[in-house]
Amino acid sequence: QHIHSGIKSIVFINCGSTLDLYDFLSLDSIENNNHNDENNLTLFLLDSLRPIEHRNVYDAKQIRILILPTKIDAEKKRVP
């Protein structure tokens, strides 16, 4: 049974930013799985740990990273 069965959202509080959440939760990326209910799963990531795993950053459709507005400018300067 998959982690996403019947679950629409998962909230990570103070954990998860340094993990590849796709690999950790055995998910397929949205690009590879366009017709599956897995696409309805949204992951919300609230974590102060850095660095943030790059795969989590570049998937704005399924993984939502929440950062305090005061930290956004500093974070943007650190991303290549």
Task: Give the lowest-confidence range in 31-40, 49-58, 65-74.
Answer: 31-40
Q: In what order do the strands lie in the sheet with 9-13?
A: 9-13, 42-46, 63-65
> Does residue 66 lie within any of the structural domains?
yes
The residue ranking higher by pLDDT, 57 or 30, is: 57
Residue-range definition of the domain harbouring residue 35: 9-78
Write the pLDDT tens digit of every residue in 39-57. 588 999 998 887 888 888 8
> Does residue 53 lie within any of the structural domains?
yes
> Does residue 70 lie within any of the structural domains?
yes
> Does residue 2 lie within any of the structural domains?
no
Residue 30 pLDDT level (bands cut at 50, 70, 90): very low
> Does residue 51 lie within any of the structural domains?
yes
Number of domains the chain contains: 1
Position 43 scores a pLDDT of 94
Position 64 scores a pLDDT of 92
Do 30 and 39 contact (CB within 8 A), yes or no?
yes
In the structure encoding, which two tokens stand for residue 29, read together?
Answer: 């990326």
Residues in the chain, how many?
80
